[in-house]
Amino acid sequence: MLTIEALKEKVLGGREISREEADFLYEAPLKELCLAADEIRRHFCGNGFDICTIVNGKSGRCSENCKYCAQSAYYHTAAEEYPLLGTEEIVSQAKYNGERGVLRYSIVTSGRALNDKEVEKMCEAVRAVKRETSIEVCVSFGLLKEEQFRKLKEAGVTRVHNNLETSRRNFKNICTTHTFEDKVEAIRAASAAGLSVCSGGIMGLGETKDDRIDMAFSLKELGVKSVPVNMLNPIPGTPYEKQKRLTVEEMRRIVAVYRFILPDAAIRLAGGRGLMEDKGESCFQSGANAVISGDMLTTSGYTIESDMEMIHRLGYQEELYHG
């Protein structure tokens, strides 16, 4: 007979849960599930908490038609549009974040992929950040090739972000201008270049519980150790502008089940956290142990100071987590 306790002990003993066992957990009593997930988090990850911030390095006019995104050229939204930021601005923001205790800083750009000239420009910016700060640099530059990822690594980048967004089955319902396999290929290229990978998805896109679980197993197969769990923020002007928001309880359940499937990962609350009544605090007691702080590209985020206060109050200590 399956029980939460038995599956918790299985994971603590170093064994993996099956797809069927994950299905069982998804329907299990929430309080018991979250307590068990948090115990697994403490066992594998301790009380380290990975906090990162992002800078919107290039905004708007994206060629892709992801239905949730304010920056897609397919939709009419209020998102700001501008080309690549210069090195000075990127370094300035890196310093600002580093001075507030942030250990990881991610440069995110709109579009299917940066071209070679843009990649070189970003390499220059990364080299400047590494010269002038001690902050770790992550980038999200789209569907790059291995050679481009290698150049970024040589410049000082340590991690690449590229969300799967949803399950393989559901992806075509979210985006048709690129595929789930395109995402997987880019993730594998980044890994082959020697970079760690941050990849997760957005919850609340109309996906089923099976889609959520399937995505977690895809991430496990790809060896991903940093997993953003975003909650859809319905943006006016996008096809999902009237999509029903998930509840805090639903997000806690997702985070807890992900902790059972990905026991040694940094499970990171990201976009949409501001829509949660408790700003995600209960999720950090349900298996999550990382966060994206500050502003979220085209939506307002949270202050670094308030997030630092929260994680310290919950007994965490900020540190870089590599899995």
Q: Which domains does the chain have, with CATH numbers?
A: 30-316 (3.20.20.70)
The pLDDT of residue 320 = 86
Q: Identify the pLDDT of residue 80.
A: 86
Rounded to a whole number of angstroms, the CA Rg of the chain reads 19
**Residue-level pLDDT at 245:** 93
Q: What is the mean pLDDT of each run of 10 residues along the chain (323 residues)?
A: 96 98 98 98 96 90 92 87 94 92 93 96 98 96 98 98 98 97 98 97 97 98 97 94 95 98 96 89 97 62 82 92 69
Taking the CA atoms of residue 61, residue 63, residue 69 and residue 73 in that order, the dihedral angle to the nearest 10 degrees is 50
How far is the C-alpha of 196 from the C-alpha of 139, rounded, in Å? 11
Angle between helices 248-261 and 30-45 (to 10 degrees): 50
Q: How far apart are the first and last CA of the chain?
A: 31
pTM for the model: 0.94
Backbone angles phi, psi at 65, to 5 degrees: -110, 35
3-state helix, strand, coil in the chain (%, to 5): 40, 20, 40
Query: Can you give the pLDDT at residue 302?
Result: 65
Number of H helices, E strands in the chain: 11, 11
pLDDT at 76: 87
pLDDT of residue 101: 87
The pLDDT, as a whole number, for residue 296 is 44
Positive or negative, the Cα torsion across 32, 213, 54, 205? negative
**What local confidence, expressed as pLDDT, does residue 297 receive?**
41
Chain mean position to CA 295: 14
Residues 321 and 288: beta-carbon distance below 8 Å? no
